[in-house]
Amino acid sequence: MSLNILERLKSNPSCLSKSERKVAQVILEDPNKAIRSSIASLAKAANVSEPTVNRFCRSLDCTGFPDFKLKLAQCLATGTPYVNRNVEASDNVEEYSSKIFEATMSAISDAKRSIDPNALSRTVDALAQARRIEIYGLGASGSVAMDAQHKFFRMNTPCVAYTDVLQQRMAAAATKPGDVVIIISNTGRTIALVETARIARDSGATVIAITQPHSPLAEDSHILLGVDSPENTDIYTPMTSRIVHLTVIDVLATGVILKHGPEFQSHLKRIKAALAETRYKSPETD
């Protein structure tokens, strides 16, 4: 985590309280000064108490303030401070590939820490009992919706993904109680998706949102799988957020399979066996 601690602070992780975010802001303004500061001086600069600084450090998986400063120093020493998270035109292949890999790993790690296990459990229960599953996404989230359909159609439950706004609205209006609608959006601010969520709710479907907490879409869902993302997709093409959303889908699909119990394995085995004749045989190893 030491290589990504500034990445995590820059992404405004949900594990930090309001007071702890004040500490983060002071550190981000001058990381080098933070390394030289005492806990008392940092607390004063952030206008918080010293125990708050200690809680801030533990929220970032550090044992205390000295451990945090050590990891912060290690992060700065790598030559990849937080201001260089985005790829620069002057980066060579090693530099920009390293940045992308590190940003993605950091985003997945943050999502693992922040996502609500209770919300995951409720979502798995809803999907396992669903009469029908529909998944909506637009743009980059549309590809995640298609991947979700690829996972869930194996569950013996009718499943479809829609990536067109008009189809989404019509499909949402046709849903019924017992149906589950998953809506995927990095920002949670896409007007069409928020309106579709409301239509599905009014039709009686259970609406599950994979999106930013405190967003309009989050507010109009029954179950929120909140995923914070540091990406500014108003400017940049979604990268790490898309990978995080795909990972959440994998978690849900696995949960539903386990929910169905061991006897469901024979069903999955038949589906996999149907592919056997479409592939060349693997070469035998000596």
What mean pLDDT is predicted for residues 19-25? 92
Q: Residue 257: what pLDDT? A: 93
What mean pLDDT is predicted for residues 173-183? 98
Q: Residue 79: what pLDDT? A: 47
Has this prediction a pTM greater than 0.75?
no
Looking at per-residue confidence, does 286 or 1 come out higher? 286
Q: Mapped to the 3 state alphabet, what secondary structure does the chain carry?
A: CHHHHHHHHHCCCCCCCHHHHHHHHHHHHCHHHHHHCCHHHHHHHHCCCHHHHHHHHHHCCCCCHHHHHHHHHHHHHCCCCHHHCCCCCCCCHHHHHHHHHHHHHHHHHHHHHHCCHHHHHHHHHHHHCCCEEEEEECCHHHHHHHHHHHHHHHHCCCEEEECCHHHHHHHHHCCCCCEEEEEECCCCCCHHHHHHHHHHHHHCCEEEEEECCCCHHHHCCCEEEECCCCCCCCCCCCCHHHHHHHHHHHHHHHHHHHHHCHHHHHHHHHHHHCCHHHCCCCCCCC
Q: What does the pLDDT look like over 114-169, one tens digit per residue?
A: 899 999 999 999 999 999 999 999 998 999 999 999 999 999 899 999 999 999 99
Q: Residue 7: what pLDDT? A: 72
Q: Residue 4: what pLDDT? A: 63
Q: What does the pLDDT look like over 38-83, one tens digit per residue?
A: 999 999 999 999 999 999 999 988 999 998 998 888 776 654 443 3
Q: Residue 230: what pLDDT? A: 57
Q: Residue 234: what pLDDT? A: 44
Position 84 confidence tier, pLDDT thresholds 50, 70, 90: very low
What mean pLDDT is predicted for residues 222-233? 76
